[in-house]
Amino acid sequence: MTSRSYTFSHAVVRKPSASIVDGLRAVDTGVPDLERFRQDHAHYVSLLASTGAAVSVLEPLDDYPDSVFVEDAALCLPELAIAMRPGTPSRVGEAAVMAPVLSEFYSEVVAIDGPGFIDGGDVLVTEREILVGRSARTDAAGIAELAQITSPWGYTVREVETPAGVLHFKTDCSLMDEETVLATSRLSDTGCFDGYKVINTADGEDAAANAIRFNGLVLMPAGFPKTAARLSAAGYDVREVGNSEAAKLDGGMSCLSLRFSPPA
């Protein structure tokens, strides 16, 4: 039996647009180099496709500078897709644009109507539950609406706290397999992963925590050799992807794709 939380037949990505230079950022560390971003994004897409998954590559959206980060706009479960309600006004329209794309794969696409807000980057789906981090982009009302939408399919939604100063819950964690999470110490020390096996990022490599398990591969940002070695030693097939430009916009591996297996 394959895992529903990291075995996927499909992915949706969106090419970075020229307007990416105007994207949101918590701290200004420089303007993203569009050409380098495009090259890194193409590498990322090629790795997803190398697992045998069908990868849909959407064209850039200049009206939405952050739209390359498709994960915030939707949550894709085996039974249905849910258009999120991003917690930043400039990004709310991204969910509406993504909904018809997902309707090509799902017969049921629903939306978070509000008044709450929720970003996909705060949602970690495991085999046993959906963990959602409260953050500057996700509030209690948004989490409650997600719980209401998913409960008919037997999902348990658990609200947890995102560490202070951390943009999204998944900035600091990612799922490696049915029982294992990669996480920063500052997040795992809160106890939110009690009952899971935790691999902590190495000292000074917190930015390595946002990785993705996609079928047989673990994609992680390049430049964090100690954490990469820990994952390799644990038996994962690690592939490093340049993330310097996405990181200038607080983006990482999970942000760049929607990963799912639609209903048969």
Question: Which residues are tagged catalytic?
Answer: 168, 255
Distance CA 33, CA 237 (A): 29
Structure tokens at 50: 């190398």
Rounded to whole angstroms, the Cα distance separating 206 from 224 reads 9
How would DSSP label each residue in the chain?
A: ---TTT--SEEEEEPPPGGGGG---SS------HHHHHHHHHHHHHHHHHTT-EEEEEPP-TT-TTTT-GGGGEEE-SS-EEE-B-SSGGGHHHHHHHHHHHTTT-S-EEE--SSS-B-GGGEEE-SS-EEEEE-SS--HHHHHHHHHHHGGGT--EEEEEPPTT-S-GGGSEEE-SSSEEEE-HHHHTTTTTTTSEEEEPPTT-GGG---EEETTEEEEESS-HHHHHHHHHTT-EEEEE--HHHHTTT--TGGG-EEE----
